Copies of this chain bind each other. A is one copy, B any other.
């Protein structure tokens, strides 16, 4: 476990995939953050108070001690890894790190940006009804998870988790997709390797406790 010598503040909301990733990484490092809830359903990310923290109105944002707010979940994960190296969330070798980061990107770059609230707002304005939006969500969650499945099932570097038997940022980003799929009631079939790994991750308290429905502000299921 890493030693925490400064207070951490995480601006968060119960159901966002990007906030989930940071919650898991902090937990795996044994770090505790004071969470400030930003209710994006109520528009609080556009409030003057939050725009002073992040002028772009995006969560998560994290403040470490005296510094400026950190933004973007992938950048925050790398920052947490660099400032609190134990236990490592990246493999020890450069090729392994590249593979873990690539799988992380398949979830956090190829998949997640397509199903965010701002995309929903645009498509609703362009005439998408609820069924069309659900079809869009389902298409991109399916495309993303089946692509990850194709890699994980084919590559010998896959182990108990995405990369061998050590939890990496690949696992954190992968698990962040089904974590929000449940919120939107979307299911993806034919991803047995993904399902096995996500089930194993969710046995760990660091992942289980980051479940959106266990967060402050979440509705009762």
The 8 Å CB contact of A109, one of B70, B74, B147, is: B74
The 8 Å CB contact of A67, one of B79, B95, B113, B147, is: B95
A154 at the interface (CB under 8 A from B): yes
**How many residues of chain A have a CB within 8 Å of chain B?**
44
CB distance from A102 to the nearest CB of B (A): 4
Name 27 interchain pairs, CB-CB below 8 A, sorted by A. A55-B150, A56-B106, A56-B151, A67-B95, A68-B95, A68-B99, A68-B155, A70-B95, A70-B98, A72-B105, A74-B74, A75-B98, A76-B98, A78-B97, A78-B98, A78-B101, A79-B94, A79-B98, A79-B101, A83-B94, A108-B109, A109-B113, A113-B113, A122-B136, A122-B139, A126-B136, A127-B127
In the complex the two chains form, what is the Cα distance from A13 to B165 in whole Å?
36
In the complex the two chains form, what is the Cα distance from A56 to B150 in whole Å?
8
Name which residue of chain B comes closest to A110, CB basis: B113
Q: How many identical subunits does the complex contain?
A: 2
Q: Chain B residues near A110: list those with CB within 8 A.
A: 113
Taken residue by residue from 106 to 140, chain A's Cβ proximity to chain B (1 for < 8 Å, 0 otherwise) reads as: 10111001100011001000111000100010010
In the complex the two chains form, what is the Cα distance from A154 to B55 in whole Å?
9
